[in-house]
Amino acid sequence: MYFKIILGLLLLGFFLPVSAFADDAEDAIENLGWIAVSAGIAANVPFIAMNKIRRYAIKAGGSTVQIGKQIRAIYKPILNFHILLNSIGYFAGMTHGFLFVSNLDSISLSLALVMSVMMVSGLMLKYTSTRNSKIFGRLLHGQFGLVILLAALVALHIVVGDD
């Protein structure tokens, strides 16, 4: 079953950029930005919701602890989904930025920096094995302020970019 889900996501990730280039050049570049936004939302909403539900179930105790244990079984597939879609979104967003580099402003540059910090810290969290690097990655990647900053910069980029 997981193989079918992963294969479907890979095909989706492969064909979304292809459909972005079906229009003229400027629309295609803009569509890459929308792919990045959509992938980011689709990757993060289920992951954050699952973590919040799991934490609530464990804190509430009693029969809800069983729910927390059941969520632990689906944690790994949702984490992989989170990583896959955020990677697609990151590369689509960076490609969008590189192709629109002539329109670079401070909001776009800040957005690229925050996206890169989140991506690097997520990779550190996933692929490093030392205790200190895991702690550093978790502290940096899990900052609620960075998530709010990223969402605000995306919203500002969309508003300013539509002018």
Say if 11 falls within a structural domain: no
Say if 14 falls within a structural domain: no
Say if 18 falls within a structural domain: no
The answer to whether residues 90 and 36 touch, using CB atoms and an 8 Å cutoff, is: yes
In order of 60, 90, 139, 144, the CA distances from 39 in angstroms are 32, 9, 23, 19
Say if 15 falls within a structural domain: no
**Can you give the pTM of this predicted structure?**
0.79
Give 74-129 pLDDT, tens digit per residue: 888 888 999 999 999 999 999 999 988 888 899 999 999 999 999 999 988 888 88
Which residue range(s) make up the domain with 129?
Answer: 26-162
Say if 19 falls within a structural domain: no
Say if 10 falls within a structural domain: no
User: How many separate domains does the chain show?
Assistant: 1
Say if 108 falls within a structural domain: yes
